[in-house]
Structure 1
């Protein structure tokens, strides 16, 4: 198994993973499946902020981060997403992917990573807590899927500064 930056040609494998999650679970609130062209465009846009785990030439998991919210005041905060194929779970692959994302985020000058997690996904809450994220909020019944109201749990991790002198908590160079 190896980790690497995602490439546009990974889009079909990524779609198989995420679309299965969309169809079969309450892990994500969306009901709209992803298309390979849309995922390929996202990979191009995010660059190093989109990582995959690959085994025997096939993507078995992915993790990415993008802006948390629009506007310059949020420039040092990113929101992560991480998903694994069922056969790749509980093998430490998610832990490796999240560590890689943290490294890339720190290198890009991010100070905080945020995860928005479905209240119907306690294993993801435990996973993020084990990775050093702390719960900072719970928004009751903001999601709706499969005739069910779902809570959104917000977790965050404050990152150590990157090697290039990432800004301090006030956005100033160190």
Structure 2
């Protein structure tokens, strides 16, 4: 089940995000985030009805992933373009959870009247690249060695979907 994130979900969101930070290859953060940092990240999604943060629960009600639609750019000309991001806990990957999350976020972006969804992905993240391809995203560029992930410089790919 995917639902709007609550304050009670902040620890799970932080833990899942920090798994990705520690593993490397999917986020530009180099050190684990605190609960307060994740709280500020969630609170920055304002207005919340236009820029939702959601969580995914498993069959037992445990939070196993989260996702968001974020403002792509603060300038008014970019209104209607949102950035999609998602993280699934390691033990729940390769079970269709990412597909379910991305599908839900795309549907939400459409319902909110957006015209484009953007995804920024480490080019070597084959799982996420395959996922956005599955949904018909188009790669509009690769920024070579744009991001240091704590171990290596990585190329970053930029994707969009017309809604």
- TM-score over 0.5 for the alignment? yes
User: How far did residue 89 of structure 1 move?
Assistant: 1.1
| Counterparts of 1:75 and 1:26, CA distance in 2 | 29
Q: Mark the runs of 5 or more structure 1 residues left unpaired by the alignment.
A: 160-174
Aligned-CA RMSD value: 1.6
Whose Rg is larger?
A: 1
User: How far did residue 35 of structure 1 move?
Assistant: 2.2
| Counterparts of 1:58 and 1:154, CA distance in 2 | 31
CA change 1:78–1:147 in 2 (3 A) is same
| Counterparts of 2:7 and 2:83, CA distance in 1 | 21
Check whether the contact 1:139–1:153 (CA below 8 A) recurs between aligned residues. yes
User: How far did residue 24 of structure 1 move?
Assistant: 1.6
Q: Structure 2-normalised TM-score?
A: 0.89
Check whether the contact 1:8–1:43 (CA below 8 A) recurs between aligned residues. no
Which of 146, 152, 155 is the matching residue for 1:151? Answer: 155
Q: Mark the runs of 5 or more structure 2 residues left unpaired by the alignment.
A: none
User: How far did residue 115 of structure 1 move?
Assistant: 0.5
Q: Structure 1-normalised TM-score?
A: 0.84
1:51 aligns with 2:54: yes
User: How far did residue 127 of structure 1 move?
Assistant: 1.1
Check whether the contact 1:118–1:151 (CA below 8 A) recurs between aligned residues. yes
